[in-house]
Structure 1
């Protein structure tokens, strides 16, 4: 006869075995991850949900669009998108021709598709971009709508081989940057005026609610080009993007996004090619970046605002991309306060006398943040101006950038990297005495020409494995 005592004993034994097996399995999974971190990348790719749209089409010409490059088609775009969404989704077609418009706001289950010779020209009138909840240099704000914007949407895409033209140059949006390099002269208003950029930063430091951080007209903070805010399951494929007012591709608080085959050619101020921010499971592949700032810059919020949001950017994958001009090929920071981890870069080509660095991490004691687990392999670098790998905890571009938030940078790995001209340094790494840059590995790295092997300050555990610099093996 089975008594209650026997049942209890069997239950204890069963639970004990379950706990032991669980611990054993956990250790095994951890061990696999540590021995081959690229499996994390493979799992991310395998498990990423894909966009899927109904086989229905909505041609913007049927909603009143005119392809003369002069008629404002904002209403036609919005009507087509709304009708598509109301009917369960599908493809909104932009036919061949030139279409002028203001802000385009996407909806659930909508694929905005540009035919091969379609070009969307975006208005240069700030009044065509309504005030929305967005972000500017890592600080959330109510500001001009991005040129293409989606907030809180699922299953949304921009596809096709057409062109998105922001029309920005030194006579309009770019002059707001306040730089003489882009047409600004003394007396012209800009983002640098005392009531603009620094006021926003101060509001965030004082925890002023985002709804009360209202900017827009008279404040000269340029809009992002394409922004997916709090979205899930997103595709941007094959388009060409030129002449952006500001950051170009900006997924913020967005998960599960593929950016595939996109060409970015925009040399204005702050013209980063792609800026994933507070975002996870982002794949950037088969793209070409030719930019006025960082080609790819992985972000996680600025200062107090980043710590308030506290969402790290994670599982960011860059594959088979080409980087031409820019401040850096793949960059992490400087808006980095919530941290970044699990970044994978493989099979990329970086080459231009106007490309400053290949891989770069930039932060400071005002930004803080933990940046860890960055893996780079199979990189072909022609020419970079400054260095191959730069890790900097003292980044300073806006005046005083010191505070009490000492950053962490650790576990940075480069493998199978070939460089023709590495500029000044193969590795430039600077940390704090109390927080050194930790665990840098260069394995199977060949740098044919560079002025100096490295510049190191407060670095702990740097390893050169089968590394040749200036034709000499580095031990």
Structure 2
């Protein structure tokens, strides 16, 4: 991958310094169409000049951090990491700084948890105490990491919190409450923890990343209560969701109402060994809307290529989700599943009443080519009868599958041009579904649904 020049960085990373109107990426408006003039910044610093050894043995944390801090205070520019193996603890990326990893440069995370800062981080939709990311930023603007080098986590600090150490483990890259972010042309490697975790971020462009992880909890890119995000031309093979979209859990997430919105995923290749290629949820209490997925190849998953998940007690909404021109093969579960009533951990303070049942509308899946998927669409238990899905399109589906389409509790469905062979049993099974293209469907019994959450004795307050 060709390294980006500083001029290119300044042009793209400056997006958002001037007012940018809110737009819907679900309508194919992407960040690379926005061009904002910014003042040229000339600082270029090399971490070797600040004492970094790059020998894989010496901890280079202080040297790299000093170079970043110096670049920031001088007005911004690039911090160059030349070829070498740089063992580091947590590094904080600051405003107006591009961290550029040259060819054969590897930043490797320390095996010692004491080398990571303890701070407020998001974990399963809640803010808790935890270790910072290996490379993190907090409240920064106009930041970038570019390649063609590599960032690798250390397996000794990954995994889930334990009773002995309840702090959340370090993500690999974790900007929090940041704006104008660009990640491009580098590789990542990690085990049993998230590779990239975006939280409360705005205006993000991720392009040409090569992401590899293994083990449970090894998500590739998590978009957590963020807006205006483009993920383009990435190759992601992970131990858990390749991409996960989420927005908080329970009354905490519902009260904060930080929505994930305007997300455009395009031209990517996905493979997953434990769960789904793209997961929407299950932490959805801040709402998720305006998501476009297009021109992507799904080459393997333990469950489904696309898995939409939430539960009673989440509240909020999932709306305006579209997927177009997808190639789907190697699925152990199938192409698409809804589980929007009972997926994920129930929160200690769930959203009560009918308000706690997620609202869903405008789902569209078009021009999909499937190869030997076990199930085409599993929507048999996912939509609550109190709040049917309003608007569902499934059109121009071709290929081979073993089982067809099951849908429940949907209004204004539009099913057309389903040309899939190899189906055993009915192509379409429905309950409480209205709309077009339902001729010949087999009616199934009403699935069991969960009751709304009872009102608590004491109203919830953020704490």
* TM-score, scaled relative to structure 1: 0.79
Partner of 1:434: 386
Partner of 2:196: 249
Partner of 2:141: 154
Q: CA deviation at 1:269?
A: 2.1
- Among 436, 449, 460, the alignment partner of 2:401 is 449
Task: Kindly indicate which of the two structures has a greater share of residues assigned to helix.
Answer: 1
Q: CA deviation at 1:220?
A: 4.3
- Among 387, 392, 398, the alignment partner of 2:334 is 387
Q: CA deviation at 1:244?
A: 4.3
1:100 corresponds to 2:80: no
Q: CA deviation at 1:301?
A: 0.8
Q: Please tell me whether the aligned partners of residues 285 and 321 of structure 1 are also in contact (alpha carbons under 8 angstroms).
A: yes
Q: CA deviation at 1:254?
A: 0.8
Matches within 5 A, 1:325-344: 325-326=272-273, 327-344=275-292
Is 402-411 or 272-281 further displaced after alignment? 402-411
Q: Deviations over 1:61-109 (max 9, x none)?
A: 1101111101011100111001111111111111101010000101111
Q: Please tell me whether the aligned partners of residues 48 and 281 of structure 1 are also in contact (alpha carbons under 8 angstroms).
A: no
1:87 corresponds to 2:74: yes
Q: Please tell me whether the aligned partners of residues 53 and 110 of structure 1 are also in contact (alpha carbons under 8 angstroms).
A: no
Q: Relative to structure 1, is the Cα distance of residues 88 and 346 closer, same or farther in structure 2, using a 3 angstrom cutoff?
A: same
Partner of 1:28: none
Q: CA deviation at 1:462?
A: 2.7
Matches within 5 A, 1:68-79: 68-79=55-66
Partner of 1:231: 178
For the residue of structure 2 that corresponds to 1:243, the secondary structure is strand
Q: Please tell me whether the aligned partners of residues 115 and 162 of structure 1 are also in contact (alpha carbons under 8 angstroms).
A: yes
Partner of 1:351: 299
- Among 349, 355, 363, the alignment partner of 1:412 is 363
Q: Relative to structure 1, is the Cα distance of residues 403 and 84 closer, same or farther in structure 2, using a 3 angstrom cutoff?
A: closer
Matches within 5 A, 1:225-374: 225-244=172-191, 246-326=193-273, 327-352=275-300, 354-374=301-321
Larger radius of gyration between Structure 1 and Structure 2? 1
Partner of 1:164: 151
Q: CA deviation at 1:398?
A: 3.8
Q: CA deviation at 1:55?
A: 3.6
Q: Structure 2 regions of 5+ residues with no counterpart?
A: 1-22, 429-436, 438-463
1:466 corresponds to 2:414: no
Q: Structure 1 regions of 5+ residues with no counterpart?
A: 1-32, 178-189, 197-217
Q: Relative to structure 1, is the Cα distance of residues 363 and 77 closer, same or farther in structure 2, using a 3 angstrom cutoff?
A: same
Q: CA deviation at 1:123?
A: 0.3
Matches within 5 A, 1:177-216: 177=160, 190-191=161-162, 193=163
Distance in 2 between the 1:285 and 1:50 partners?
Answer: 23
Task: Name the Cα RMSD after superposition.
Answer: 2.4
Q: CA deviation at 1:421?
A: 1.9
Q: Relative to structure 1, is the Cα distance of residues 270 and 39 closer, same or farther in structure 2, using a 3 angstrom cutoff?
A: closer
